[in-house]
């Protein structure tokens, strides 16, 4: 059987690799991506493994690369994508080269950065000093008032001089402080020095760069005058506490001027040096940016290989490594080939040995997918990974999923929009894939591009069937309804009906889909559409569920559960057929039996009335009556039944269906019990064909059959039966969501048209065109955001539920675990996304 | 040569919207022109009681159909202009991003 219908057959293999060849072989297998290695030393912790050193070295290299990458990002240098092919995993000896390169690069970069930082700090200091000199000059200039020659006099005035009784020398400190600290600084100075200091400050207009964090900070220059050493120490302490930087400032104006000159020249020099450092750093980074992606790939590959080698067992002789791996049975040849390539590359003479092993373990589930089926397979996996070799619902989902979606989303216009979007994504697949847009929503849309395209196309089809395009109808083939009212009737009535049982209906239906005349039937359009869509939903639902139950037959046959066919599949399908499929049949009988009889319109003839719409019974009431063994009071001219013998057949069906329930309930436990007794009598020979959990295809030896606890079997079966019986009722009803969502969508589309676009069509002038232009944009926005996106999402979720619950519950266990092969592609992908 | 008015997203939005508008409004104009019954509800008819005879009613409806057909085509034309403008903007945006 093809791999699409169930998961691949897997074999557990033992792999003997020569120590020298192991690296090259594993590298080849990683390129191939078809082998899942098992951890053979799970009780050994990560630090005691054989290749822990190499893994650590790779970690270190990766860290260095990340550092480089960060620096490259900071400078905004574009990193070159790897041209063409991904580089192969390098030879182990190449690792030393790589290490040396990275070491050199890192050191160089660190040194450059350190130098740059020191230079920047220097630069900052000089700039601050420059500002101090400039600003303090202003202070001193103010004080150098021509009327007072000496600073001492100017500051304290006559009284100060008198009070001290001697000439006082005033000291001062100048410095720079963060601007937001100024108020607190000022208050602190005032309080600590009891108002005996004098603070002047001026803001530096241009922001300065903080070398350690490279932030732009605003600072202020201050100068504090004080008297005496005690105050000096106190002031200095406060400055220290506020992280103000103090700079020496000469007292004499001439010295200050000289110093300012010196500072300016030094700043100039520093600028050139800084520029050169920056250039050097840029050169280093540009050179690194060319290769960094390549290096990342190489290092990650090496790391992955050593990580895998760590999972292996060492042979006693230390000459070879032993690995255990799950391998798809069909790919044995390719793997052998890859192993041989690996051996040749490593120059070893001893070929690796790939040995099949027998096992009782459940193999992993591996479904081969391509870009088209992958999205559908993921929808299934999102519910649960299939049990090994179980029927895979994905191939059927490819059609049923878009179809059920379209039943809810049926609108030619909205479907076309969705299909256009999907088509664009499929058409531009390669360029879009290469772009690697990192938005989550986009990734979801792009991953499901084929689903979106199919959903759009199917919606266009159902839109044609419903004859809905943005809530309007297309009259392609010409309506089958005629207006036969005369002029006076038309003039005097607001609402008129067309009777199908008259000449109004030409008695040949509209060739494709719903007749467009219904769009104008304001009074009973919804009633008519509801009856139609509800029936369609139930019909689709019952067929969908029947299909699901049939799938379980395939499972039973494949897993050789013969008893399950008789006591599970048969009663299940009978139950569904006799009750719900019968209801579907009744619908078809109703559709075909009742209606007008062409030439005899409105006739009173009993035979004609009996098949007229008047006598058409309600299917739901009929079904409820059937379940309750009840009959409705007869309506005189009509028959009680839809066909001869209906009552008897219905009773038989219900009783037979109900009899299926105890079979489902007790059949399997009974057989299990019987089999256990038999086994007990015969000793421990396994009974052929009755192995309940028999292994796939009988390839493996029969499992050691644990006698299941019989009460557990009973409980399990009871739950299953109740779930199935109640499920078939509730699931059938659940398919009515197809109708409900489709009704909601149609109504919402109509509201959008009537409330918005119609407003633009209601003017009798030519400026209506401009108005229409504006209104159309609004209507388009509403259509896309609410009708396509939101309604689309809700229809999608309901479809998903219908598949997961209503369809898959009939046959799908989903208890497997996923095949996760050792593959460079996957490793590199996941490493790329986590890091970004 | 010309200046940039809108960013890449807005110009793309305008592009898509105008393509849609041109297609739909042209088609709607055609449908109005051939007097599609489905669009009867979307006609500028004053009030239902205003018509005393069939002829005047039919005349209003006919006039409404023609008027709406023209209005649709006018709007479609405006979308052609929008298309040209947004295409130009889109091209400008693309070119500038490439040159950078």
The SS3 call for residue B37 is helix
A701-712 confidence digits (pLDDT tens): 444 455 568 888
Residue among A706, A666, A683, A503 at smallest CA distance from A599: A503
The yes-or-no verdict on residue A595 having pLDDT over 50 is: yes
Min Cα–Cα distance to chain B from A77, Å: 13
A412-421, A453-462, A710-719, A825-834: the lowest-pLDDT one? A825-834
* Average pLDDT rounded to a whole number, residues A164-183: 74
Q: Which of A762, A487, A482, A497 is nearest to B55 (CA)?
A: A487
* CA nearest neighbour of A580 among A810, A267, A397, A757: A810
Contact: A475, B37; criterion CB under 8 Å: yes
Q: A with B: how many residue pairs have Cβ under 8 Å apart?
A: 78
Q: Give yes or no for a contact between A274 and A113, defined as CB atoms under 8 angstroms apart.
A: no
For the residues of A240-305, what is the DSSP string, one character each?
A: HHTTPEEE---SSHHHHHHHHHHHHHHHHHHHHHHHHHHHHHHHHHHHHHHHHHHHHHHHHHHHHH
Whether the predicted pLDDT of A154 surpasses 80: no
Q: A777 vs chain B: nearest CA distance in angstroms?
A: 7
For A290-320, the pLDDT digits (tens) are: 888 888 888 888 888 988 888 888 877 777 8
Nearest residue in B to A468, CA atom = B38
Look up residue A715 and give its two tokens.
């409980």
Residue A513 DSSP one-character state: S
For the ranges A484-488, A820-824, B30-34, B69-73, the lowest mean pLDDT is seen at A484-488
CB contact under 8 A, B24 and A776: yes
* Chain-chain contact of B25 with A772 (C-beta, under 8 angstroms): yes
* CA A39/CA A820 separation, integer angstroms: 13
Q: Answer for the pair B86, B14: CB distance below 8 angstroms, yes or no.
A: yes
Which position has the higher pLDDT, A834 or A447? A447
Token reading at A373: 């089926």
Q: Which residues, other chains included, contact A435 with Cβ-Cβ below 8 Å and sequence gap of 6+? A: none
Determine the distance in angstroms separating the CA of B64 from the nearest CA of chain A, rounded to an integer.
7
Whose structure tokens read 């740059």? A116
* Domain residue limits, chain B: 8-99
Report d(CA A811, CA A228) in Å as an integer. Answer: 96
Q: What per-residue confidence (pLDDT) applies to A314?
A: 81
For B3-61, how does the pLDDT look when each residue is reduced to its tens digit (9 = 90+)?
Answer: 677 888 888 999 999 999 999 999 999 999 999 888 888 888 765 555 567 888 888 88
Contacts of A115 (CB under 8 A, 6+ apart): A277
Q: What is the pLDDT of residue A346?
A: 83
Q: pTM for the complete prediction?
A: 0.81
**Confidence (pLDDT) at A586:** 94
What top-level class would CATH report for the domain A51-309? alpha beta
User: Which of A513, A772, A780 is the mutation pick for testing B, counting most B CBs within 10 A?
Assistant: A772
Instruction: Name chain B contacts of A776, Cβ cutoff 8 Å.
Output: 21, 24-25, 75, 79
Q: Is the pLDDT of residue B97 over 80?
A: no
Question: A-chain residues within 8 Å CB-CB of B41?
Answer: 520, 758
CA distance B89 to chain A (A): 19
Nearest to B37 among A487, A520, A770 (CB): A520
Predicted confidence at residue A691, as pLDDT, reads: 44
Which residues does A294 contact at the CB level (< 8 Å), separation at least 6? A82, A87
* C-alpha R_g of chain B: 20
Verify whether the Cβ–Cβ distance A519 to B38 is below 8 Å.
yes
Q: How confident is the model at residue A153 (pLDDT cuts 50, 70, 90)?
A: very low
Which residues in chain B have Cβ-Cβ distances shorter than 8 Å to A769?
Answer: 70-75, 77-78
Nearest-by-CA chain B residue for A776? B21
**pLDDT category, B98, cuts 50, 70, 90?**
low
**A167 band by pLDDT with thresholds 50, 70 and 90:** very low
Residues in A closer than 8 angstroms to B38, CB to CB, are 472-475, 516, 519-520
Using CB atoms, which residue from A472, A494, A772 is nearest to B75?
A: A772
d(CA A168, CA A619): 115
A780 inside 8 A of chain B by CB: yes
* CA–CA dist B27, B76 (Å, integer): 9
Mutate to test the interface with B, among A424, A776, A783, A788 (most CBs of B within 10 A): A776
Percent of chain A residues past pLDDT 70, beyond the cut: 92
Closest-CA residue of chain A to B18: A777
Give the gyration radius of chain A's Cα atoms. 43
* Contact call for A475 and B75, based on CB within 8 A: no
Task: For residue A756, give the chain B residue with the closest CA.
Answer: B42
Q: A464 and A470 in contact (C-beta within 8 Å)?
A: no
Chain B interface residues facing chain A, Cβ-Cβ under 8 Å? 17, 20-21, 24-25, 36-44, 48, 53-54, 63-64, 67-68, 70-75, 77-79
Using an 8 Å Cβ cutoff, are A300 and A62 in contact? yes
pLDDT grade for A79, boundaries at 50, 70 and 90: confident
Cβ distance B71 to A494 less than 8 Å, yes or no, reads no
Cβ atoms of A400 and A544 closer than 8 Å = yes
Residues on chain A touching B48 (C-beta within 8 angstroms): 494
Q: Which residue of B has its CA nearest to A769?
A: B71
Q: Give the CB-side neighbour count of residue A228, counting CA atoms within 13 A.
A: 7
The DSSP result for A391-414, as a single string, is: BPSHHHHHHHHHHHHHHHH--HHH
pLDDT in tens, A9-56: 889 998 888 888 888 888 888 888 889 998 888 888 878 888 888 888
Pinpoint the residues of chain A covered by CATH 3.30.70.3450. 51-309
Residue A741 CB contacts under 8 Å (≥ 6 apart), including other chains: A408, A409, A791, A794, A795, A798
CA of B2 vs chain A CAs: smallest distance (Å): 25
State the burial class of residue B15 (Cβ atoms within 10 Å of its Cβ: 0-12, 13-18, 19+): middle
| Residue A500: predicted pLDDT | 85
**Partner-chain contact A520 B67, CB within 8 Å:** no
H runs (alpha helix) in A783-823: 791-801
Q: What are the C-alpha distances in Å from A174 to residues A228, A249, A388?
A: 16, 7, 81
A477 touches chain B (CB under 8 A): no
Handedness of CA A36, A40, A42, A44 (dihedral sign): negative
Distance CA A576, CA A140 (A): 103
Task: Give pLDDT tens digits for A708-728.
Answer: 688 888 899 999 999 999 999
Q: Does the ipTM surpass 0.90?
A: yes
């Amino acid at each position: 059987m093809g791999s699409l219908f169930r998961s691949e057959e897997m074999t557990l293999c033992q792999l003997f690799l020569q120590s020298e060849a192991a690296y090259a072989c594993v590298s080849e297998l990683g390129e191939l991506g078809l082998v899942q290695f098992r951890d053979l030393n799970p009780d050994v912790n990560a630090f005691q493994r054989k290749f822990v050193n190499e893994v650590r070295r790779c970690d270190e290299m990766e860290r260095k690369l990340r550092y480089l990458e960060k620096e490259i990002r900071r400078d905004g240098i574009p990193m070159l994508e790897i041209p063409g092919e991904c580089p192969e995993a390098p030879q182990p000896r190449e690792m030393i080269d790589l290490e040396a390169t990275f070491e050199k690069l890192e050191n160089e970069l660190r040194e450059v950065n350190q130098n740059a930082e020191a230079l920047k700090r220097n630069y900052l200091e000089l700039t601050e000093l420059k500002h101090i000199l400039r600003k303090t000059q202003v202070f001193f200039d103010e004080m150098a008032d021509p009327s007072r020659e000496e600073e001492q006099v100017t500051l304290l005035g006559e009284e100060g001089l008198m009070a001290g009784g001697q000439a006082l020398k005033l000291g001062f400190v100048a410095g720079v402080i963060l601007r937001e600290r100024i108020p607190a600084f000022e208050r602190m100075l005032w309080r600590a020095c009891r108002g005996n200091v004098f603070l002047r400050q001026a803001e530096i207009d241009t922001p300065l760069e903080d070398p350690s964090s490279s932030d732009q900070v605003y600072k202020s220059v201050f100068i504090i005058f004080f008297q005496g050493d005690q105050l000096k120490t106190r002031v200095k302490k406060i400055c220290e506490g506020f992280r103000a930087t103090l700079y020496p400032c000469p007292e004499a104006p001439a010295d200050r001027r000289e110093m300012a000159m010196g500072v300016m020249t030094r700043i100039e020099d520093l600028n050139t040096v800084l520029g050169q450092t920056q250039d050097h750093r840029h050169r280093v980074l540009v050179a690194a940016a060319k290769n960094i992606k390549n290096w990342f790939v190489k290092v990650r590959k090496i790391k992955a290989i050593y990580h895998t080698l760590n999972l292996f067992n060492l042979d006693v002789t230390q000459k070879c490594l032993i690995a255990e791996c799950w391998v798809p049975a069909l790919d044995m040849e390719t793997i052998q080939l890859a192993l041989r390539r690996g051996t040749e590359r490593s120059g070893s003479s001893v070929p690796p040995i790939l040995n099949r092993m027998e096992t009782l373990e459940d193999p992993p589930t591996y479904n081969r997918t391509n870009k088209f089926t992958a999205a559908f397979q993921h929808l299934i996996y999102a519910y649960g990974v299939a049990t090994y070799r179980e029927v895979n619902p994905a191939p059927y989902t490819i059609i049923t999923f878009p179809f059920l979606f379209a039943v809810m989303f049926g609108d030619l216009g909205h479907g076309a929009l969705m299909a256009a979007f999907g088509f664009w994504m499929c058409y531009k697949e390669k360029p879009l894939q290469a772009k690697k847009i990192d938005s989550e929503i986009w990734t979801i849309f792009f991953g499901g591009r084929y689903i979106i395209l199919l959903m759009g196309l199917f919606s266009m089809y159902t839109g044609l069937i419903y004859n809905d395009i943005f809530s309007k109808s297309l009259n392609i083939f010409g309506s089958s309804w005629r207006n036969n009212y005369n002029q006076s009737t038309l003039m005097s009535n607001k609402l008129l009906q067309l009777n199908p049982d008259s000449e109004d209906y030409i008695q040949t239906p509209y060739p494709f889909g719903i007749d467009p005349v219904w769009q104008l039937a304001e009074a009973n359009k919804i009633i008519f559409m509801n009856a139609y869509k509800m029936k369609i939903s139930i019909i689709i639902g019952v067929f969908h569920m029947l299909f699901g139950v049939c799938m379980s037959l395939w499972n039973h046959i494949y897993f050789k559960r013969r008893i399950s066919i008789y006591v599970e599949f048969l009663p299940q399908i009978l139950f569904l057929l006799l009750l719900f499929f019968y209801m579907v049949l009744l619908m078809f009988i109703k559709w075909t039996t009742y209606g007008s009889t062409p030439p005899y319109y409105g006739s009173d003839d009993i035979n004609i009335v009996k098949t007229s719409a008047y006598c058409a019974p309600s299917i739901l009431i009929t079904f409820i009556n059937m379940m309750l063994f009840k009959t409705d009071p007869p309506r005189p001219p009509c028959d009680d039944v839809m066909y001869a013998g209906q009552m008897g057949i219905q009773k038989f069906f219900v009783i037979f269906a109900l009899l299926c329930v105890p079979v489902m309930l007790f059949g399997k436990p009974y057989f299990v019990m019987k089999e256990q007794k038999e086994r007990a009598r015969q000793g421990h020979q396994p009974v052929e064909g009755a192995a309940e959990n028999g292994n796939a295809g009988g390839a493996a030896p029969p499992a050691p059959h644990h006698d299941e606890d019989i009460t557990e079997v009973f409980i399990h079966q009871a739950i299953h039966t109740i779930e199935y019986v109640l499920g078939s009722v509730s699931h059938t009803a659940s398919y009515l969501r197809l109708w409900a969502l489709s009704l909601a969508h149609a109504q919402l589309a109509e509201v959008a048209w009537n409330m918005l676009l119609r407003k633009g069509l209601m003017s009798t002038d030519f400026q209506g065109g401009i108005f229409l232009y504006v209104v159309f944009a609004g209507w388009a926005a509403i259509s896309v955001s609410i009708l396509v996106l939101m309604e689309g999402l809700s229809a999608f979720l309901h479809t998903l539920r219908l598949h997961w619950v209503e369809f898959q519950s009939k046959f799908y266990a989903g208890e497997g675990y996923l095949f996760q092969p050792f593959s460079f592609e996957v490793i590199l992908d996941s490493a790329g996304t986590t890091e970004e | 040569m010309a200046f940039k008015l809108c960013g890449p997203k807005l110009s793309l939005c305008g592009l898509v919207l105008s393509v849609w508008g041109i297609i739909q409004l042209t088609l709607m104009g055609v449908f109005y022109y051939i007097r599609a019954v489905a669009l009867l509800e979307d006609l500028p008819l004053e009030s239902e009681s205003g018509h005393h005879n069939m002829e005047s009613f039919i005349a209003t409806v006919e006039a409404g159909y023609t008027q709406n057909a023209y209005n649709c085509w006018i709007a479609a034309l405006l979308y052609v202009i929008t298309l040209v403008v947004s295409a130009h903007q889109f091209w400008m945006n693309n070119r500038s991003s490439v040159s950078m």
